[in-house]
Structures are given as structure tokens and as C-alpha cells.
Amino acid sequence: MKYVIALLLWLPLTLSGAQSVVKGTTKILTFSKIPADATLTFGNKSIPILQHPSDTSKRIALIPVNYRSHPGLKTVRITYTGGQKTVELNITQGNYTSETITVASSKVTPNKTQRERTTREYHDAMKIYGTFTKKRYWHQPFIAPMDSHITSQFGTARMYNNTLKSYHSGTDFRAAMRTPIHATNDGVVVIAKDRYYAGNSIVIDHGEGIYSCYYHLSALHVKKGDIVKQGAVIGLSGRSGRVTGPHLHYAMMVHGTQVDPLKFHQAINHLFEYVPQAQ
Ligand SMILES: [Zn+2]
């Protein structure tokens, strides 16, 4: 009997059949007890098991579900010495909408030099996002990068001049030119430069596979390698890169996958709401 209880204890707390998750968001699994040598995989991705931020008796796994995932059941596998457990995720479509955007054609159809530049910038960024920094910098809940209205949600299907189809990979905040933009948590600046699509960009590594991105800025107040504190002004809003007007595009990468940044904040911040019971 004791053995059975021990086994049940480390199963995800909310486990009861398949757990629902909208594509483009992050599922956080919480484990009350899990063998020290347990490893977790989702699809062909190995997902690290992390300390719970407010409850030392628990551990967590952040499972990013790609926006381009097909709705349906997908399995999370937890392997450890002597066994294996699975958790079924039911990936759902969500309520994403679509919109049409018109921008200068030179930015829709890049020339050869521009294509080489965007390819290089893409690969450079993906290499960074695929880097797992063991140190945790996010010791408190994430905050908004600025106090403003959201003008475009993450995940909106987009058509540029009816030629280029994509989806909105971040959340847009309304921002007049040169509005201060804040780091949403502590971290290390890993990108601070001008890029073709994103314009003046800042990317912060928060550790443990979590990165936040701030695009289209008019001024960069930090440089690569800087350690920033949550709330620090890292730059000023602008209209650099592929945009129709000034705004902040805020994005997040988790274990190399783009996820809805504000939904990620919501999910991870919830873990800080745990209050240990007095003994
Ligand atoms: Zn945007």
C-alpha cells in the first residue's frame, strides 16, 4: 500500500485523463514527488524538470505547445529507473482570429541581401533560444513590459498584402514613440541590436529555457551581456523593422518554442501564489 501511495504522489497533481492545452500556450505540470533521475519528453523534445518557485517540495515542467501543432492528443513521457509514466495533453485550437496587414512591399518580398540577412538573424536567434541556461533568474512573478492597451493578441493569423501568410508571434502593446519599456523579469541580455523584421530588438535570457523579446524599439538602453533587473528600462518604444506604426511587440520563447507571452506570465505567476502552510 505504501508503495502505491508513493507512486501516486509524484504523478502530476491535476492528472485525471487528458489535460487540455491551447496550441501556442505553455502547459505547466506540477509534481509533488518525482524520482531524482526522471526525464521528460514531449514529441521529440527533452523537457527539463525544474524546481517549483515557491514550494520546495514540488517540481515543475514547462511544456510549450507549438502554435502550428495539430489539435488532438499528444503524450508527455516521464522516464525513470524502473519505469515510465505518461500524461496525455489534449491540444485544442483556441479562439485565434485572423487579420490582413498592408506594409511596404520591400519589406514583404526581401531582396537577396535582405533574405540572407533574415536567414542569418533567424538562425542566430534560434541558436540562442535553444540554449538552456541552468541558472534561474526569474525569482518573482513576471510583470508587463509597459502599462498600455493590447492592440494585437498573440496567435492572430496574418496576411501581408495578401501574399505572405503567418501568425502573430507575440503580443502588441500600443506605444507612442519613445515610451520606456521594462524588463519583465531579471535576466541577462542576449540580443540588443537592429534586425530586419524586428527592428531594434532586445532579448533577455531569464534562465531555464525562458526568453523574453522586445521589438521595434527606437532606442536600446542595454547591451549584450548586461544583467538586468525586473522593471529596469531597457529601451524606448519605436517603429523600427517591419511595422506600420510605433508599438511594442512582446514575445516569449520557452525551450525553443514561441508561446503566448501573457498567457505564459499568467501560468507561471500562478505558481508564486502558493503560500506554505504554517507548521
Ligand atoms: Zn507584433
CATH number of the domain where residue 142 is located: 2.70.70.10
Residues 47 and 124 in one domain: no
Cα of 158 to ligand 1 centre, how many Å?
11
**End residue of a domain, out of 94, 122, 146:** 94
pLDDT of residue 103: 67
Residues 141 and 241 in one domain: yes
Residues 235 and 111 in one domain: yes
* Letter string b/e over residues 149-179, b meaning 16 or more CB atoms within 10 A of that residue's CB: eeebbbbbebebeeeeeeebbbbbbbbeeeb
Summarize the confidence of residues 61-90 as an average pLDDT. Answer: 95
Residues 38 and 150 in one domain: no
Only one residue has cell 502593446, namely 173
Residues 129 and 262 in one domain: yes
pLDDT of residue 121: 95
Residues 191 and 243 in one domain: yes
- Compute the distance between CA of residue 172 and CA of residue 177 in angstroms, rounded to an integer: 14
Summarize the confidence of residues 3-20 as an average pLDDT. Answer: 58
Q: Does a structural domain hold residue 213?
A: yes
CB 25 within 8 A of CB 259: yes
Q: Does a structural domain hold residue 276?
A: no
**End residue of a domain, out of 78, 94, 110:** 94
- The string of pLDDT tens digits covering residues 222-244 is 999 999 999 999 999 999 998 88
Ion ligand 1 residue ranges (Cβ < 5 Å) = 170, 172, 249
Residues 71 and 169 in one domain: no
**End residue of a domain, out of 94, 111, 144:** 94
Does the structure show a pLDDT above 80 at 104? no
> Which range of residues forms the domain containing residue 50?
2-94
Does the structure show a pLDDT above 80 at 7? no
C-alpha cell at 228: 538586468
Cα of 152 to ligand 1 centre, how many Å?
7
- Compute the distance between CA of residue 278 and CA of residue 265 in angstroms, rounded to an integer: 28
More confident residue, 89 or 9: 89
For 5, which DSSP code?
A: H
Residues 254 and 208 in one domain: yes
Domain count along the chain: 2
Cα of 189 to ligand 1 centre, how many Å?
20
Does the structure show a pLDDT above 80 at 107? no
pLDDT of residue 99: 78
Cα of 174 to ligand 1 centre, how many Å?
10
Where in 104-156 does DSSP place strands (E)? 150-152
Residues 230 and 137 in one domain: yes
Cα of 172 to ligand 1 centre, how many Å?
5
Summarize the confidence of residues 21-28 as an average pLDDT. Answer: 97
Specify burial of residue 18 (Cβ count, 10 A radius: 0-12, 13-18, 19+): middle
- Compute the distance between CA of residue 212 and CA of residue 223 in angstroms, rounded to an integer: 15
Q: Does a structural domain hold residue 274?
A: no
- Compute the distance between CA of residue 235 and CA of residue 232 in angstroms, rounded to an integer: 9
Residues 54 and 116 in one domain: no
Residues 121 and 85 in one domain: no
Cα of 30 to ligand 1 centre, how many Å?
31
Cα of 155 to ligand 1 centre, how many Å?
10
Does the structure show a pLDDT above 90 at 188? yes
Cα of 65 to ligand 1 centre, how many Å?
19
Cα of 57 to ligand 1 centre, how many Å?
38
| CATH number of the domain within which 9 lies | 2.60.40.1590
- The string of pLDDT tens digits covering residues 111-125 is 899 999 999 999 999
- Compute the distance between CA of residue 173 and CA of residue 140 in angstroms, rounded to an integer: 22
Residue 66 C-beta-side C-alpha neighbours within 13 Å: 10
C-alpha cell at 136: 534561474
Residue 106 C-beta-side C-alpha neighbours within 13 Å: 4
Residues 41 and 123 in one domain: no
